[in-house]
Structures are given as C-alpha cells and as structure tokens.
Structure 1
C-alpha cells in the first residue's frame, strides 16, 4: 500500500516537472533564435497612399461656429456634440461640419470628408473665376 501511495504522488509530480523543463528549454531556444535573426526591413509604402492637406490649405477652408453649421450637430471625428459657440470647420462641397481641431487633425492626414468620403481637391481651394460680361 505504501508503494501505491508513493507512486500516486511521485508520478504526477515527475511528469509535470518534465513538462516544465521542456517548456523552459523551448523558451531559451526561442530567445536565442530571436537574437540571431536580422531585423525585418520596413514594409513598403502603398503606392495609392495620399498625403493630407497642408496647413495653408486648411486655412483656406471655411471656419464657422457650431450654430452656423448646415448639416448635423455632431462631430463625426470625435463623436461629440458641436456646441453653438464652438469653432467649427465646414468641408466645402458636401457642407459637413466638425470641430475645428478634429477637422484639422483628420484633414492633415486624409484629404477626404470623414462622413461622405468626398475628395477635397485643389478645385475647392481655387474656384474658377466667373467673367461678369
């Protein structure tokens, strides 16, 4: 009986110890292999990736207050309400409005409207002159 108690306690402990030692060896092997590997090069930049608007282009976009916005009272960038006295920026063409800081942060990285994805191109900054004749 004493032998069966000994085996019932010893065998599970020995088995778990063996599994633990194998795990530690695998961790050491993986750590040594990571140190010997060269660093991966940076992934290439997508060809279709565009840059946002410049600060001078952002200044050309209309600034209004929250009460002057035509469409919606919520900023689609930060999802917060645009108060009537807060400065806002309106995207020409689609007339969607956003907090001034939110719009500038978004448009400096993406030259499209955050709501409708309308492109904000150079034609919106330099409208064609109409001859009064």
Structure 2
C-alpha cells in the first residue's frame, strides 16, 4: 500500500521545498503557482484518480460473469493515466486491479507479457491486450444491446 503513495508524496515534498525557496526569494505568487502545479501532479499520480481496485481473482470472476474488461494498472504509469482519462465515466464499468497492491494481479500481467509487468494490460474474454487503444477499450465497455 505504501508503494502506491511514494510518487505523490515525493511530488508534494519537492513542490513544497521549491515553493519555500521561492517564498524566501520574494516570489510568493510564483511559489503558489509552483505548489499548485506539484499538487495537481501528485493528485494525478495517486491511486485516487482510478476507480476502486479489486483483487485479481475477484476481477476475473466478475469479468467472466458480466463480460466487462479487467484492467491491470499501477500508480504513476502514464499509459494507465491516458487510458483512465480517455475512458471518462465509462472507466467505472471496468474491473480495475492495482498490480502494486495485488500479487496475483502482478503475476497475471507477467504471464501475459513474457515476464514483464507492462501495464495497462486489459483482459477481455480471457484474452490479454497490452496497452490497447483507449477507443477500443471504450467500445468494450459500451452497454451491450
């Protein structure tokens, strides 16, 4: 759990230190802007941006039952962020697995990617797709007619 918060906390600390230096240098406006920028970066790299993660066995069970994709991701991954933002509100329809929190999820990703933990890995119908086009994933999340 702590591993997922390392990047956001480091970003906040760096932003705070830089803002402190700017305030001491007589630039409070720049310091506020700088701190705001680092706070936004920390928020984007935190697990709070993603839908609630479930364990890999539970996600696989749910995906098999309802046909929705299972998305394996990790905090700080720019490709995962791109996928999350491009899916918009539909992202909540997928089953998300944080591989840093779930060893079974990390093992599933390694099995699908020749031993690498390459994310996002999206499993649809039991077939893994590594870093798929967000438009394609959005189509998989569309309500079935």
What TM-score do the two structures reach when normalised by structure 2?
Answer: 0.21
Compare relative contact order (CA 8 Å, sep 6+) and give the higher one, 1 or 2: 2
More helix by percentage: 2
Select the structure of larger CA radius of gyration: 1
What TM-score do the two structures reach when normalised by structure 1?
Answer: 0.23
